[in-house]
Structure 1
Amino acid sequence: MSSNKALFAGRTILASSISKSYTQEISQKCQTISSSIMSPKGKKPFLVGFLANDDPAAESYANWTKKTCEEMGFEYQLRRVQNKDFLEEKIIEANNDDAVDGIMIYFPVFGDAQDQYLKQVISLEKDVEGLNHTYYQNMYHNIRYLDEQKTKKSIVPCTPLAIIKILEYLKIYNPLLPVGNRLYGKKAIIINRSEIVGRPLAALMANDGCVVYSVDVHNIQKFTRGEGLKFSKHHVEDLGSNTPELLKQLSLDADIVITGVPTDNYKYPTENIKEGATCINFSFHKNFTEDVKSKAGLYVPSTGKVTICMLLRNMLRLIENKYQNTSSTNV
């Protein structure tokens, strides 16, 4: 029995392996921009990150951002803000600095609605994480361009985008189906409904044809385009309170399990995983126990490196949007 389990055990896929499929493309594009009219005097694309908390996850993310930027030809600067009440002022200064191409904030800062406000302070033209209301609205309504001429591409929030790219890399998307329908027939459960990752990810996957069960502490919602994909964009249905019984029922029906619970003591029950399901964790903490590998067909324990690649990809797109009249390159 144990030998059979070993024989049919799934694979663990690291974010570092997945990110390699994007690093060369992004590095080459970075070099092209640095040597073109889009970058005066050969200036490297310049990203500024603001850190105004003592969250170890944010510190780790900042370190990986710096390392990745340096490896791929970008300039990066971490600006620590000791008094978070002055963070807005510092962001506005970066907005007005022509040398700065991209801005990001390491959340949480205040951990409440004020964080939602800070996302809107970053200039639309420098928001590499795609958290601006305009980008969110476009994403939810499946609008891919910022202008009627379709010359300026809209930005997708980088962590949800990273998970979509991971699903594509793992061949979960069906390339034989039309674009926009390639998750048709798949069911997913997402243990997180934050406005930064969980909710937009559920919308993106549902817009691509997936039935998504979105779970937070209080309730479970169903994101879907309806039977036979009859709707052009996703609709949301409230399924009721988040009970262990309902969670297990939906989990055992899910082809894809995605977790993002930001606490070290949360572990997704392995017995709730459908045999052969794809399991992805985007939390800084390990939301799965080691025995996930006995159930999952494919297991991705973290997404950070792919997220940073998508962040830099977004920044290059912002630069191209700014100079699209003088360049025909695309990311």
Structure 2
Amino acid sequence: MQLLNGKETAKAILDSLEIDVAQRAASGKKVPHLAAILVGNNGASETYVASKVKTCSEIGFISTLIQFEEDVTEIKLLEKIEALNEDMDVDGILVQLPLPAHISEKKVIESIDPAKDVDGFHPINIGKMTLGEKDAFISATPYGIMLLLEHYKIETKGKHAVVIGRSHIVGRPMSILLSNNSNPGNCTVTLCHSKTTNLKEICLQADIIVAAIGIPEFVKADMVKEGAVVIDVGITRIKDASKKSGHRLVGDVDFTNVAPKTSYITPVPGGVGPMTIAALMKNTFKACDNRN
């Protein structure tokens, strides 16, 4: 069993981006500028956005954090996005999800200029990704997973990949990317979800499992065949009296019991999470490079 170390892989990607940004600056070109919008005071969202802003600073990007109160109107939020669309200095726009119930996430996502949609959620970018077009912005978590597989030279061609979870953010794009005629890719993919009746039997056929169902330690050892590659997308804080903090972070995979059966597995934390931020930064650099 070998750990797929997302922290180390992300650092290698970010170090490379830092050099690319410095070269752009030295040649008189503009450096990437990411605008992040945060609505309300969701603790997890605040942590995620702070990490993205910090990473921008570390690799030489410019970042702008725009914060709104929980009760901001949908119209005001859409007006701000439109202003960022028109701002030629801004290369990438992300709106941290989830949004308050009175704001339509669909409207917000579709209001972002696809050329600045570095989160890869706009229908135009999803369509381009499905078609395998090179100029698509790919949703950061699936993109990060593909970069991790590439970094470790995981053989995917002809393999059976099982994706557990069908969200538009992770599961669906992950299934498409793994099935695309690319490297990594060229898998035969089974997309499973909460209504799949014979999930255990399907998982036991998998050479690669991507767990993105959002249920702590859902994937058990008896669902994984010997030598499988397991990618754990989930992260949940659960109570643990043995820890000084009173809690610990776990993924969607029962790591302790599953890991010994695998050839490769991502840890939680330190696996997919850092790769998501690295992928977002790659998208933002690409958006800047495309425009300038």
Contact 2:4/2:148 (<8 A) preserved = no
> Which of 167, 184, 187 is matched with 1:194 structurally?
167
- 1:91 is aligned to 81
Equivalent-residue separation in structure 2 for 1:262 and 1:217 (angstroms): 10
> Which of 15, 21, 27 is matched with 1:30 structurally?
21
Deviation at 1:258, TM superposition (A): 1.0
Q: What SS does structure 2 have at the residue aligned with 1:268?
A: coil
- 1:68-96 CA-partner distances (Å, limit 9, x unpaired): 11211112232222134332222222222
- 2:243 is aligned to none
Equivalent-residue separation in structure 1 for 2:225 and 2:102 (angstroms): 35
Contact 1:61/1:304 (<8 A) preserved = no
- 2:2 is aligned to 11
What is the RMSD computed on CA atoms of the aligned residues?
Answer: 2.1
Deviation at 1:99, TM superposition (A): 2.7
Q: What SS does structure 1 have at the residue aligned with 2:191?
A: strand
Instruction: Work out which of the two has the higher radius of gyration on C-alpha atoms and give 1 or 2.
Output: 1
> Which of 12, 30, 33 is matched with 1:46 structurally?
33
Contact 1:64/1:305 (<8 A) preserved = no
Structural mapping, 1:206-285, within 5 Å: 206-207=179-180, 208-218=185-195, 242-243=196-197, 246-263=198-215, 265=216, 267-285=218-236
Deviation at 1:250, TM superposition (A): 0.9
- 2:247 is aligned to none
Give the AA of the match of 2:289: E
Q: Which moved more, 1:295-304 or 1:84-93?
A: 84-93
Equivalent-residue separation in structure 2 for 1:32 and 1:76 (angstroms): 19
Give the AA of the match of 1:291: N
- 1:296 is aligned to 262
Q: What SS does structure 2 have at the residue aligned with 1:100?
A: coil
Equivalent-residue separation in structure 1 for 2:51 and 2:213 (angstroms): 20
Deviation at 1:284, TM superposition (A): 2.9
- 1:322 is aligned to 291
For structure 2, the residue ranges without an aligned partner over 5 or more in a row are 237-250
Contact 2:230/2:266 (<8 A) preserved = yes
Deviation at 1:167, TM superposition (A): 1.2
Contact 2:33/2:92 (<8 A) preserved = yes
Give the AA of the match of 1:28: I
Deviation at 1:57, TM superposition (A): 3.5
- 1:222-275 CA-partner distances (Å, limit 9, x unpaired): xxxxxxxxxxxxxxxxxxxx12xx111111110111112335x45222210111
- 1:287 is aligned to 252
Aligned length: 267
1:310 partnered with 2:279 = yes
- 1:65 is aligned to 52
Contact 2:220/2:257 (<8 A) preserved = no
Identity %: 28
Give the AA of the match of 1:251: C
For structure 1, the residue ranges without an aligned partner over 5 or more in a row are 1-9, 145-152, 174-182, 219-241, 324-331
Go from structure 1 to structure 2 and tell me whether the alpha carbon gap of 1:170 and 1:112 turns closer, same or farther (over 3 Å shift): farther
Give the AA of the match of 1:35: A
Deviation at 1:63, TM superposition (A): 2.4
Give the AA of the match of 1:313: K
Go from structure 1 to structure 2 and tell me whether the alpha carbon gap of 1:27 and 1:93 turns closer, same or farther (over 3 Å shift): same
> TM-score, normalised to structure 1's length?
0.74
Equivalent-residue separation in structure 2 for 1:251 and 1:112 (angstroms): 38
- 1:156 is aligned to 138
Deviation at 1:28, TM superposition (A): 1.2
Contact 2:33/2:288 (<8 A) preserved = no
Equivalent-residue separation in structure 1 for 2:229 and 2:107 (angstroms): 35
> Which of 89, 99, 123 is matched with 2:113 structurally?
123
Equivalent-residue separation in structure 2 for 1:120 and 1:36 (angstroms): 35
Q: What SS does structure 1 have at the residue aligned with 2:104?
A: helix
Contact 1:58/1:107 (<8 A) preserved = yes
